[in-house]
Structure 1
Amino acid sequence: MPVSAPPTAARSARGHAPRPHRNVRLLLVGETTSKLGTSVTSVLLPLVAVTALDASPFMMGVLTAAPWLPWLLIGLPAGAWVDRLAPRRVMLVCNGVSAAVFVSVPLTWWLGALTLGHVLAAALVSGAASVFFSTAYSAYLPRLVPTDALMGRNAQLQAGDQAARVAGPGLGGVIAHTVGSVPGLLLDAASFVVSTVCLLAIRTEGPGPAPAPRRPLGREIADGLRFVVGDPWVRAVTAFGAAVNLAMAGFQAVQIVFLVRTVGVGSDTLGWLVSCGGLGGVLGGLVAGRLARRLGTARALLAVQFAAAPFGLLAGLAGPGPRLAFFVLGTGVMFAGVVACNVIVVSFRQAYCPPGMLGRVTATTLFLNFGTIPVGALLGGSLASLVGARATLWVVTAALPAAGLFLVVGPLRGLRDLPGAPAADG
C-alpha cells in the first residue's frame, strides 16, 4: 500500500503557502456563507413559485428537480473542462453567474415581468453553476493544504455546510415573513458576493498539476469514467455513495408526509424535527477526523457506516408525544454517520486521485452519486402511495446500512487505512 509523505515533505513538494490556515479560513467562511444563502433559497424560491406565480403541484416537482438536472446533462464534461482551467477562476465565474441569477428574479418581479419560466431558468442556471463550482472546489482544496490535513479541513467544511442547512430554512421563513420571498432572494445573491471576496483574498496557493496535452473532450471524459470504474478503491466508495444517496433521497421524499399525516405533527414542530438531521450532520463533520486518526480511515469508514446507519430504523417508530424522540435520535445519528462517511470519502478521493484528473474523477463520481437522488425520491414517493409512509420509511432506512455492503465486498476489508496517491508506487 502506498505510503504518504511526511507533512513537511508534502508541504514542500507541493509548494504550499506559509499561511495555509488563513487561506482555508477564507475558503471556509466563503463556502459556509454561500451554503447558507443556498439553504435559504431552497425555501424562498418555491415560495416565489407558489405565492407570486401560483405554480401547480406538477410545476413544483419540476422546480424541485431543476437544480439537479445539470448534473445529469453536463456533469461529465464539466470535470474535463475544470481539469483544463484554473479552479479558482472557475469558482469566481460560477459565483458571479449565481449572484446575477438571483438578482434577476427580484428585478423582473419589480418590473412586473416575472414568469414561472424565469424562475425555472434561474434554478437550472444556478444548478449548472453549482456543478462547475463543486467540481472546481474539490480540485482547489488540495492546493491550499497538505495531503495529511485534508481530512480535518473537509470536516470543517462539512460541519459548516450542515450548520447552514440547519439555520437556512428557519432563516428563510423569517425573511419571507418580514421582507417577502422575492426580495429575500437578494440574500442568496449577497452570499455569492461574500464567497467571491473570500476567494479573491486568497493570495497564494500551491501549484497546480502540469498542463497535459489537449485531447478530444470525449476521450478525456472517458479517462475519468475509466478511472472511477476501473480502480477498485474509487469504484467501491462511489458505489457506496450512490447507494447512500438513493436511500437518503427516498427518506427525504417521505419524511414530511410521514410526520404530518401519519404522526400528526404540526407546522410549529415540523421545522425543528427536520433540523435534527442537520444537527447530527454537524456532529458527524466534527468527529470524522478524530475517528479516522484513531481507528484508521478504512476502519473508521466501516465502523461509522455500520454503527450509525441502523439508527435510521428508529425514525419509523415515531409517534405523537414522547415517541417523537425516536425520530430525533434516529435521524440525528443517521445523518451524523452519513456526513462523517462523506468527509472520509471526499478526503480519500482528493488525496488518492492523480491531480491532473481530479476534476474529471470528481465530476464522474458526483454524476453517479447525484444521479440516484431523483430515482430514490421517485421510488420513495411511489412506494409510500402503495404501502404507506411508515412502511416506506422502514424500507428506505433499512437500505442505508445495506449500502455498506459495497464497502465490505470491496478492497477495504482488513485494512486500517485507505491508500494514498497511487503515483507513490510509480
Structure 2
Amino acid sequence: MHPGSPWQVAGFRVLFTASTLSQFGTNVGYIALPLIAVSALEASPGQVGALATLSTVAFLVIGLPAGAWMDRMSHRHVLITADLARAALSASLPIAWWLDVLTLEQLYLVAVLNGCATVFFDVGSQSVLPQLVGRDRLVAANAATMSLIAVGNVAGRGAGGGLVQVLTAPVATACTAGAYLISAVRLTALPSTPAPRSSVRPARLRTQIAQGVRHVLGSAELRALAFTATLNNFGSQIVNTMLPVLFVRELGYPAATLGLFWAVGGVGLLLGARCARPVADRLGHGRALAFVGLCLAPASLTLPFIDRGAGLWLAGAGYLLVMFKTGMDNVLGVSLRQRMTPDALLGRMNATFRTLLTGALAVGSAVAGLIGELAGVHVTLWVGACVLATAFLPVFLSPLRMRRGLDVTAH
C-alpha cells in the first residue's frame, strides 16, 4: 500500500464501507421512488417533478444552518442518526403498500424527510473526511469516494431497475431501508472527530452561516467551482426528472432499461473519477477542469435524441462522456475547495456548496415538471441538455483555468 494512501487510515475505511452501503440504498431509491409514482400511483409529469423537487428542497431550507451546526456537533453521531432516519422512512413505503394505504402524499412526505436526513449525512461525510485522512491525502481520498459514488450509480441503479422489475417498486425500497440500517451499524466504528475548539465565544448562528457564504462567494475560484457545479446539477436534474416518464410511459421500455441507462452514466462517473488524478498531474488541476469541460460538455446535446432505435445508443454514448466529465469535476473540485478551506469553516463551506448544488436539483425538478406539463418531455430534455452543454463556462472563464496544483498559490 502506498505510504500516502488514505486506505492506511482506519477511520477512512469505516467511512468508505458505510458510504458504500448508503450509496447503494440511495441509488436503488433513486429509481424506485419515481417509478412508484409513475407505475403504482399513476402520477403525471408535473407530480413526478414535484416529487423530485421535494426530494432535494431540504437543502434550500436547512442546508446553510446544517453546515453551522455540523461545525459544532459530533460528525459520527450525526451520520448514524441520519442513516437510521432514512432507514425508517424507506421502510414505511413497502409497509404502506402491503397494507394498501400507500398514497402520493406519503411519497411526498418521505421524500421531504429523507432529504432532510441526507442534508446532514452529505455535509457531515464531506466535513469529516479531511480530519480523518489529512489534507495531503485529499485527492486520493476524494478519488476513492467519487469512484464509490460512480460504482453505486452503476450497481445501485442497475440493481434498482432489476429489483423494481422483479419485486415491484415499493418492495424494492425495503432493500434501500436495509442498506441504510447496515450503514448506520458500520458507522458506530467511526472515530469521534469533534469540531475544532476555539477560545473565542462562538458567534451567532446567522453570523456563522454568513462566514461560510462569504468564504465561498468571496473567492473567485470557489465561486467558479460553485457556479459550474450548480449549473451542472440544474441541467442534469431537468433531464433525469423526465427520464422515467420518457422511458416507461412514452417509449414503453421496462424499468430495467432505465436503470441500465443510468448505470451507463455511473460507468462514466467511475472512469472520470479514476482518470482525474493522472489527468490533473499532466495538465494541472484547474486546467483539467476547464479543458475537459470544453471538450466533453457539448456531448449532452445527444440526450434529447433518445428513442426506440439508434437514438438510445447515441444518447447513451453522450451520457457516458458527460458523466466522465462530472466524475473528474467531482474529484478535482471537491479536493480544491477542501484544500482552500480551514478546518473551522469546513462544515459551513460544504453546506454552502451543498445548498447551491442540491438547491439546483430542487429548482431543476420543478422546472422540468412545469415544462413537461406545458411543452412536453422532449422540449424539457432540450432545455436540460443546453444547460449541461454550457455549465463548464464559469470555471473556463475564471482564474482556475491557469491553476496547476492544489496549493492556494499554485498557478
Q: State TM-score, norm by structure 2.
A: 0.86
Secondary structure of 2:228 counterpart: helix
Q: Percent identity, aligned pairs only? A: 34
Instruction: Give the Å deviation of 1:270.
Output: 4.4
Do 1:48 and 1:181's aligned partners in 2 also have CA atoms closer than 8 Å? yes
Which amino acid letter does the alignment assign opposite residue 139 of structure 1?
A: S
The equivalent of 1:3 in structure 2 is none
Q: Distance in 1 between matches of 2:91 and 2:341?
A: 37
The equivalent of 2:222 in structure 1 is 234
Instruction: Give the Å deviation of 1:357.
Output: 1.1
Query: What are the equivalent positions in structure 2 for 1:119-198 lying under 5 Å apart?
Result: 119-198=107-186
Do 1:143 and 1:207's aligned partners in 2 also have CA atoms closer than 8 Å? no
Q: Distance in 2 between matches of 1:62 and 1:324?
A: 26
The equivalent of 1:283 in structure 2 is 271
The equivalent position to 1:356 in structure 2, one of 333, 340, 344, is 344
Query: What are the equivalent positions in structure 2 for 1:36-51 lying under 5 Å apart?
Result: 36-49=24-37
Q: Distance in 2 between matches of 1:90 and 1:214?
A: 20
The equivalent position to 2:71 in structure 1, one of 67, 74, 83, is 83
Q: Could you list the runs of 5+ residues in structure 1 that have no partner in the other structure? A: 1-6
Do 2:71 and 2:347's aligned partners in 1 also have CA atoms closer than 8 Å? yes
Do 1:82 and 1:136's aligned partners in 2 also have CA atoms closer than 8 Å? yes
Secondary structure of 1:201 counterpart: coil
The equivalent position to 2:313 in structure 1, one of 325, 328, 352, is 325
Instruction: Give the Å deviation of 1:143.
Output: 1.3
Q: Distance in 1 between matches of 2:70 and 2:344?
A: 10
Instruction: Give the Å deviation of 1:158.
Output: 1.4
Residue deviations 1:234-254 (CA, integer Å, cap 9, x gap): 112111111222222233244
Q: Which 10-residue stretch deviates more, 240-249 or 176-185?
A: 176-185
1:102 matched to 2:90? The reply is yes
Do 2:32 and 2:164's aligned partners in 1 also have CA atoms closer than 8 Å? yes
| Alignment RMSD (CA, Å) | 3.3
1:243 matched to 2:208? The reply is no
The equivalent position to 2:387 in structure 1, one of 389, 399, 406, is 399
Residue deviations 1:258-279 (CA, integer Å, cap 9, x gap): 66788x5733644433432222
Q: Which 10-residue stretch deviates more, 333-342 or 398-407?
A: 398-407
Q: Distance in 2 between matches of 1:416 and 1:140?
A: 26
Do 1:143 and 1:208's aligned partners in 2 also have CA atoms closer than 8 Å? no
1:307 matched to 2:291? The reply is no
Q: Which 10-residue stretch deviates more, 76-85 or 244-253?
A: 244-253
Do 1:304 and 1:341's aligned partners in 2 also have CA atoms closer than 8 Å? no
Which amino acid letter does the alignment assign opposite residue 276 of structure 2?
A: A
Instruction: Give the Å deviation of 1:146.
Output: 2.3
Which amino acid letter does the alignment assign opposite residue 266 of structure 1?
A: Y
The equivalent of 2:202 in structure 1 is 214
Residue deviations 1:107-138 (CA, integer Å, cap 9, x gap): 45556665544433222211101001111111
The equivalent position to 1:62 in structure 2, one of 46, 50, 54, is 50
- Cα 1:59–1:317, aligned 2, differ >3 Å: closer, same or farther? closer
Secondary structure of 2:188 counterpart: helix
Instruction: Give the Å deviation of 1:47.
Output: 4.7
Instruction: Give the Å deviation of 1:335.
Output: 0.8
The equivalent of 2:286 in structure 1 is 298
Structure with greater Cα Rg: 1
Which amino acid letter does the alignment assign opposite residue 347 of structure 1?
A: S
The equivalent position to 1:266 in structure 2, one of 245, 253, 258, is 253
Q: Distance in 2 between matches of 1:93 and 1:287?
A: 34
Secondary structure of 1:305 counterpart: helix
Residue deviations 1:41-60 (CA, integer Å, cap 9, x gap): 22333455566666666544
Q: Distance in 2 between matches of 1:115 and 1:393?
A: 28
Secondary structure of 2:196 counterpart: coil
The equivalent of 1:4 in structure 2 is none
Instruction: Give the Å deviation of 1:404.
Output: 2.2
- Cα 1:109–1:20, aligned 2, differ >3 Å: closer, same or farther? same
- Cα 1:195–1:306, aligned 2, differ >3 Å: closer, same or farther? same
Do 2:45 and 2:369's aligned partners in 1 also have CA atoms closer than 8 Å? no
Q: Distance in 2 between matches of 1:113 and 1:328?
A: 38
1:24 matched to 2:8? The reply is no
Residue deviations 1:55-90 (CA, integer Å, cap 9, x gap): 666544433222211111111111110011121221
Q: Tell me the matched-pair count.
A: 407
Secondary structure of 1:371 counterpart: helix
Do 1:243 and 1:400's aligned partners in 2 also have CA atoms closer than 8 Å? yes
- Cα 1:84–1:271, aligned 2, differ >3 Å: closer, same or farther? closer
